[in-house]
A and B are shown apart, each in its own frame.
Chain A
Amino acid sequence: MIAFDHVVKRYPNGREALAGVSFSIAAGEMVFLTGRSGAGKSTVLKLIALIERPTRGAVRVEGKNLGALRSRHIPAYRRSIGVVFQDHRLLVDRPVFDNVALPLVVAGFPLKETDKRVRAALDQVGLLGKERTLPLELSAGEQQRVGIARAVVSKPRLLICDEPTGNLDRDLALEVMRLLKRFQSVGVTVVVATHDLRLAQQPGERTILLDDGRIQGRGEEEPLPSIVASR
């Protein structure tokens, strides 16, 4: 599903966030990306979401070399994946329904189908009935679940989450993790970046540990030889 091949990412200010990273993630896997602050976790996700392009090396998603993707094909690519952020990036002046519907509106879905799918997504995150509520009238955990509903509403095969539990207390964080796990169980590939090692080290999940732009060893539960650490 995802393959990083000796990926180097240097930001315009000269900072090298990734110093030759290689790993692969199979379809249907749930993988945690952990490491200290500044290790490069968000950079990996930005490369997957095509918010940034690699300086060197290749990032492949479903066989597509993202580095070579034309700018005008980026919107269509982004519509095929779901993205969740710590600060959820909701439109605060629009009700929950509009926020969740946004990816469908952007993709030109008919109104009826949009309505159906938004309700289904809100049902999945336990927020059915909050369609007309404004994001600021919701709790932090609920806001994050709206963000997740928006990420999954167009039924992407890949869901990437950057610190999805960063603003949440432990119970809410675990609840969100269970929610993400449910999406994995129906075949969605889920990649979660988090600095919270306790969250990451869930039994049965694979962990990729980043440090200063390099992969450190392998995750404890890592049984597959698919992670190639590079120096």
Chain B
Amino acid sequence: MGLATYGTRHAQALVGSLGRLARSPFATFLTVLVIGLALALPLALQMLVGNASRATGGLASAVDVSVYFKPAAPLEKVRELAADARARAGVAEVTVISADDALKEFQKYSGFGAALQALEQNPLPNVLHVRPAADAMTPADLDRLVRYFAAWPQVDTVQVDAAWVQRLNAILAVLERVLLIAAVLLGVGVLAVVGNTVRLEIHQRRAEIEVVKLVGGSNAFVRRPFLYTGVLYGLAGALIAWGVVGAALAVLEGSVETLARLYGSGFTLAGPPAEEVVGLLGGGAALGWVGAWLSATRHLRRIEPRG
């Protein structure tokens, strides 16, 4: 069989599948809708996780590591160590707040100015404010950073103001798990829907399949149009899922923007990036193909021509 003939055969199978789907538009629409909704849920979760990561990523600049030095540590040494810390990967910014500056600041704002002036000695320590880089924000990264500072003999305590970021990251990790479970379960659901639809179609076209086998149609030949049907179902379902999630984002966009503004953020919802859309369409098509293949292989074998 030549390549052109091979192409012709596939084109025939594709056109045949399209034609049959178009001939019963309502049934086709219902099947596609079910597949679409099944694919929309994981996609929506994926959007939620993606947007939440982005939102917290923006706010993560608020994560602050404070390094308190022992009273004996001279300011020059502190400056020296700050320079070392700046050179470290994963550190975005290091600010030195000397004990004197801290005291002045405290006097100015605390209202205890006069009382503090009476002190013989500055009770405040030298402090470093360290802002980790945005890509070094995981609990493990922060932990490593804390141990780095704590290892200096001049350092008294290291304090991380990041508990909520860690909680958020933990929640995101849970969400990602939920997403994975939902994707697997709903993927199996799509397989079942496509498989069952293909089974019904095979049943309806039994007489035709018998004739095709009688004149020498191989199992692969008989199966081909059903595989196309499955792929078309999967693709159409993926398009619907994309549309549904797009519509949901459009509805939410305004209120999310308002919310973000109230928190002083310029955050806006993002739709699925191109590679996720491609993944969705490819995944839908693949699920349709697999569902149709499983069903067709199982049910076509049993149909043999009558005498």
Contact = CB atoms under 8 A, between A and B. Distances in A.
A78 B305 CA distance: 11
Given A45-B307, A52-B307, A110-B4, A83 B214 contact: yes
12 contacts: A51-B307, A75-B213, A75-B217, A75-B218, A78-B213, A78-B215, A91-B208, A106-B212, A106-B215, A108-B5, A108-B8, A111-B8
Given A49-B214, A75-B217, A76-B218, 13 more contacts: A42-B307, A46-B307, A49-B305, A51-B304, A52-B307, A72-B218, A77-B216, A79-B216, A80-B216, A102-B212, A103-B215, A108-B9, A110-B4
B216 A109 contact: no
Interface of B: 1-2, 4-6, 8-9, 12, 207-208, 210-219, 221, 304-307
A114 to B, nearest CB: 9
Contacts of B218: 72, 75-76, 106
Contacts of B5: 108-110
Contacts of A103: 215-216
* Best-surrounded residue of B9, B213, B214, B219 (most CB of chain A within 10 A): B214
B11 to A, nearest CB: 10
Contacts of A111: 8
Q: Which 5 residue pairs of A and B lie closest in terms of their CB atoms, listed nearest first?
A: A79-B216, A46-B307, A78-B216, A75-B218, A103-B215
Majority SS at the chain A contact face: helix
Majority SS at the chain B contact face: helix
A41 to B, nearest CB: 10
A106 B221 contact: yes
A129 to B, nearest CB: 23
Contacts of A109: 5
Given A105-B12, A106-B217, A110-B8, A51 B306 contact: yes
Interface string A87-119: 001110000000000110111111100000000
Contacts, number: 67
A202 to B, nearest CB: 25
Contacts of B214: 49, 51, 78, 83, 89
Nearest to B304: A51
B286 to A, nearest CB: 26
Given A108-B5, A108-B6, A110-B2, A102 B307 contact: no
Contacts of A150: 215
A107 to B, nearest CB: 7
Nearest to A106: B217
A150 B307 CA distance: 17
A76 B220 CA distance: 12
A107 B216 contact: yes
A207 to B, nearest CB: 21
Contacts of A162: 307
Nearest to B220: A75
A83 B1 CA distance: 24
A75 B9 contact: no
A34 interface: no
Contacts of B306: 51
A165 interface: no
A91 B211 contact: yes
Contacts of B210: 89
A20 B218 CA distance: 31
Contacts of A194: none
Given A46-B307, A162-B307, A102 B1 contact: no
